[in-house]
Chains A and B, each alone.
Chain A
């Protein structure tokens, strides 16, 4: 049984099915794809998310898939897990793979940024939706100044998340370039702590953003956001490179909401006592050699349920988890 029908669950299901296993994939939402289904384009090259998702969905042909389905209970019976689903079906599964992914940090929790209060404050997810639909009443025609706030709910003890969400820096740079393409006359600012451009092609994307798109990167955390009489947003920050406080009035502010363990995944995990680490993500059996395994026999992990990951990392973990499950069945170790 694979729990979670995002890209990780899709890829793991496809791989296990290809290996000849009888796979049941469950997804709580109506549609498959998780966050990927709501994203427009992917960094670093800007590949349409839909193309990737369509391919992943094609690959699960033959996998038994239940959408709008949740785990009601899960118990270990001798060597199998007895899983009762919300659609009334009971499944006996020899292995359970958690691919429950992540939730975006609820940006309204950073009250000082005014998400849900000020009209022109949106999140990275809202902006992706706008890129796809070109429809969002909060985005005015031809905005002149646009800001991105990195690390919203990431690396923030006050928000309860000390961890780095890994993908937000690259996403912000990608989105900053995309919005500049849409509104070439706009000035675009990125407020960052430090830029974590660790992946292949990411550093090039960052250079291009500065050189070709003229994105202005300001090293400093935003302290507060407020609203003017004509509904623009006023952002206060400190430019830590010049050592000066900064106040800028913007037409749009985009908050780069970070990742935290999915509440739905935690709910399932709690039913069978899956351990979670201080950061809220599931604890793997080992931190180097057994990243896909839980300390409970027959339970496996892949993707962002064990910590923030990029999409390629997530897909690699899905494949690694499929091999781990296979080894478990054959009681073999590499």
Chain B
């Protein structure tokens, strides 16, 4: 691996991101999968970095899952998106940041399509007025939330309570970074680092002390891939994709995986359990799985948030081995305590060594 070669590519795919004042939209599935990630993102942005991030309960899904599953036509998803942008405008914002990678890809695709086909943009403008009586507007800047954490990665590092370093030995943690397909594969220039060697997560890992692993199936799909999972009969295909990735990364002995997509951490996390049940094989140390995180969760760990406030107890693969490596303190008794110490219930422990 020639690191300078990657640096050269990274330098060619940089974005000039506004520093402040964003209209934030959540993902429609992340709050179920990784419930604290978006809350932690806003908390970091507002309270650790002192930025203005606005959100409204009136925004909806972008329609991405339905669009990519061919359940709704493009014009419908574009009108939904136009409504989201109109809300941004209504609340006085010009910079739009979304939590979901699929949304980011779809917003980018929509803006590019409107640029290429102004007549379509005019039709959507009309649809928006007829259906919602809202004024059409386009964002001055579109970012994915991971772009913002990337942008402020060094600021986060300067406030770090913990690093991606094994506390006992000082060894940088070996980190697999997995980028959602819709981040830059469709529009390489829209992602930090481009499509082939994205830097958005690698930059965070480096800034926070970890070592990035580049393994042969790094670019391969996590296994979600919409049709692979949404169509029940294709789920074996979804699983085989994930399996392929784990087989490929295994020799590199990763300590953890970081992702920036709603589906990727879910599938990389949950399918490890399924693989262990089917094949009796796990990919982490001591018969455990490899812990999988969202970038917000990792930023939260680095900044010293309580792991259970980050929602790490809902992961399939237990995170404690990684917390121990980083030296992050945690109270095992509090793992399944929710708000006001309410018991949130414990998983029915399967025989899987992932838990």
Contacts and interface: CB of A to CB of B under 8 A. Distances in A.
B216 A111 contact: no
A111 B197 contact: yes
A117 B1 contact: yes
A229 B215 CA distance: 7
Contacts of A119: 1-2
Interface string B1-14: 11001101100000
Interface stretch (A19-27, A183-191, A220-228): A220-228
A118 B2 contact: yes
B197 A227 contact: no
Nearest to B218: A226
A226 B1 contact: no
A117 B197 contact: yes
A108 interface: yes
B194 interface: yes
A88 to B, nearest CB: 36
B214 A227 contact: yes
Interface string B208-228: 000000111111000000000
Given A227-B214, A229-B251, A229-B252, A117 B219 contact: no
Interface string B172-214: 0000000000000000000000111100000000000000001
Contact of B217 (A116, A226, A231): A226
Nearest to B194: A111
A117 B10 CA distance: 12
Interface in B273-294: none
Contacts, number: 40
A112 interface: yes
Contacts of A117: 1-2, 5-6, 9, 197
Contacts of B196: 111-112, 224
Interface in A73-124: 108, 111-112, 115-119
Contacts of A224: 196, 219
Contacts of B218: 226
Given A111-B196, A227-B214, A229-B251, A116 B5 contact: yes
Contacts of B2: 116-119
A234 interface: yes
Contact of A111 (B9, B214, B251, B252): B9
A108 B8 CA distance: 10
A224 to B, nearest CB: 6
B8 A116 contact: yes
Given A117-B1, A117-B2, A119-B2, A227 B216 contact: yes
Interface in A219-258: 224, 226-229, 231, 234
A117 B218 CA distance: 14
A65 to B, nearest CB: 36
Interface in B1-33: 1-2, 5-6, 8-9
A120 to B, nearest CB: 11
Contacts of B9: 108, 111, 117
Contacts of A108: 5, 8-9
Nearest to B8: A116
Residue among B5, B6, B217, B218 with the most chain A CB within 10 A?
B5
A227 B5 CA distance: 14
Nearest to B13: A111
Contacts of B219: 224, 226
Contacts of A227: 1, 214, 216
Interface in B213-257: 214-219, 251-252
Contacts of B251: 229
A112 B252 CA distance: 21
A111 B6 CA distance: 10
Interface in B256-278: none
B144 to A, nearest CB: 20
A193 B12 CA distance: 29
Nearest to A111: B196
Interface in A115-137: 115-119
A113 to B, nearest CB: 9
Contacts of A234: 216
Contacts of B215: 226, 229
A107 B214 CA distance: 21
Contacts of B197: 111, 117
B218 to A, nearest CB: 7
Contacts of B214: 226-227
A226 B215 CA distance: 7
Contacts of A115: 5
A50 to B, nearest CB: 31
Nearest to B252: A229
A159 to B, nearest CB: 13
Nearest to B217: A226
Nearest to A117: B5
A224 B6 CA distance: 16
A300 B158 CA distance: 62
B98 to A, nearest CB: 26
Contacts of B5: 108, 115-117
A46 to B, nearest CB: 32
A227 B6 CA distance: 13
Nearest to A228: B216
A306 to B, nearest CB: 30
A230 B209 CA distance: 24
B6 A226 contact: no
Nearest to B2: A117
B200 to A, nearest CB: 16
A327 B195 CA distance: 53
A55 to B, nearest CB: 39
Nearest to A226: B216
Nearest to A113: B196
Given A116-B5, A118-B1, A224-B219, 6 more contacts: A108-B9, A111-B9, A112-B196, A116-B8, A117-B2, A117-B6
14 contacts: A108-B8, A108-B9, A111-B195, A117-B1, A117-B2, A117-B5, A117-B6, A117-B9, A118-B2, A119-B1, A119-B2, A224-B196, A226-B217, A234-B216
List of 8 A-B pairs having minimum Cβ-Cβ separation, nearest first = A116-B5, A117-B5, A111-B196, A226-B216, A234-B216, A229-B251, A112-B196, A117-B2
